[in-house]
Amino acid sequence: MSTLTSRRMLLGRIAAAAVLATALAACGSAPTPAAPGGAAGGDGKLVMGFSQVGAESGWRTANTKSVQESAAAAGVELKFSDAQQKQENQIKAIRSYIQQKVDIIAFSPVVETGWDAVLQEAKRANIPVILTDRAVDSPDTSLYKTFLGSDFVVEGTKAGEWLVAQYQGAAAAPVAVVELQGTTGAAPAIDRKEGFAKAIAANPSISVVASQTGDFTRSGGKQVMEAFLKSQPKIDVVYAHNDDMALGAIEAIEAAGKVPGKDIKIISVDAVKDGMTALSQGKINFIVECNPLLGPQLMDLAKKVHAGEQVPARVLTEETTFDQSQATAALPERKY
Ligand code: GYE
């Protein structure tokens, strides 16, 4: 038997086993009628335990609203908790959802690593898990059913490509970039850094001269930018991993007597209303969109997973980019 044939047979067996496992899981997790003592889902509604990262940014606020509104619209009973950007709080919340025997757990992991133990507990309890917005870094992909969210490497790449295009054909004078990173260890911070670095490698005159975390918050962005303005002899560009940090950086730049968007160019990610307003005013130069309105897709996936249907392992969201005039045109319709 050729290697190819045996590999195909193996894959076929795996697929058959997966279908069977899904069917069995579906039997095991069908909504249970109200048990004496009030088990979750007693009224027949699908019960979702959702552990949110926190309320660190405009993006996060819009994401929370989307999840809550979509749950209500889809008839899903949502148990929601805010982890205030702390992994230990998310682990506690997930454990409590397991104890409450919810039908499904969804969460947006604040950092990528350190989830295996608690996700194994969920698996042993037969409670499916959906990752939303941020990924986990684990070799065991059986710990979750699907991952819904953006491709953060692509976002970083778009930011870097825009910058490269700005200096195309210009004299090879050095371009000094300072980077405001998201939360250390978070998927969007790791991936946005990586995508940007790869893209700017196309022009050796552009380099990141300083890079530090601002924790995805406005105050973090402001503080780090103040320090950069003191320590760096020349800053041409700020690359902020989200709008909130860019808005904090604008405050620091203005306080230092410089003009954001002119003396120092600013690129960020998210495209929330406040960021788009600053872009429209010329204080930010370019924003890569990251869509926070994941609620409807999340509820849809949750229902499918609960019904034992196959769902794709990765569900990507569609996103665009904005320059100043595009931001001005898009602002009146902007929902978040
Ligand atoms: O870009 C940032 C938020 O995980 C995509 O988290 C999300 C990021 C978003 O704090 O504003």
Q: How many CB atoms lie within 10 A of CB 125?
A: 14
Cα 148 to ligand 1 centre (Å): 14
In the chain, count H helices and then E strands.
11, 12
- Ligand 1 atom with the smallest distance to the CA of 292 is 5
* Neighbouring residues of 196: CB distance < 8 A, sequence distance ≥ 6: 156, 157, 159, 160, 179, 208, 239
Cβ atoms of residues 49 and 79 within 8 Å: yes
- Rounded alpha-carbon distances, angstroms, from residue 62 to 58, 81, 246, 270, 334: 6, 15, 18, 11, 11
Cβ atoms of residues 155 and 290 within 8 Å: yes
Q: How many CB atoms lie within 10 A of CB 321?
A: 17
Which residue's structure tokens are 């042993």? 124
- Output the pLDDT for position 31: 35
**CA–CA separation, 166 and 136 (whole Å):** 34
* Structural element, H or E, at residue 79: strand 76-82
- Output the pLDDT for position 170: 74
CA 172 distance to own-chain centroid: 35
| DSSP bridge partners of 178 | 210, 238
Closest residue by Cα to atom 8, ligand 1, is 188
pTM, rounded to two decimals: 0.87
- Output the pLDDT for position 148: 98
Cα 216 to ligand 1 centre (Å): 7
pLDDT per residue as tens digits for the range 194-219: 999 999 999 999 999 999 999 999 99
**CA–CA separation, 27 and 273 (whole Å):** 44
- Which of 29, 54, 53 is CA-nearest to residue 41? 29
Q: Residue by residue, what is the 3-state secondary structure of 43-75?
A: CCCEEEEEEECCCCCHHHHHHHHHHHHHHHHHC
- Output the pLDDT for position 154: 98
Which residues of the chain fall below pLDDT 70?
1-42
List, in order of start, the domains of the chain with CATH numbers: 47-149+293-319 (3.40.50.2300), 152-290 (3.40.50.2300)
- Output the pLDDT for position 62: 97
Cα 23 to ligand 1 centre (Å): 35
Q: How many CB atoms lie within 10 A of CB 122?
A: 22
As a dihedral over the C-alpha atoms of residue 322, residue 327, residue 331, residue 335, rounded to 10 degrees, the angle is: 10
Q: Which residues of 248-281 are buried (b: 16+ CB within 10 A; e: fewer)?
A: bbbbbbeeeeeebbeebbbbbbbbbebbbbbbbe
Q: Which residues line ligand 1 (CB under 6 A)?
A: 56-57, 59-60, 133-134, 188, 216, 242, 244, 269-270, 290
- Ligand 1 atom with the smallest distance to the CA of 186 is 4
Cα 249 to ligand 1 centre (Å): 17
**CA–CA separation, 202 and 184 (whole Å):** 26
- Output the pLDDT for position 4: 33
Cα 218 to ligand 1 centre (Å): 12
- Output the pLDDT for position 41: 55
Which residue's structure tokens are 């940007």? 196
**CA–CA separation, 92 and 49 (whole Å):** 12
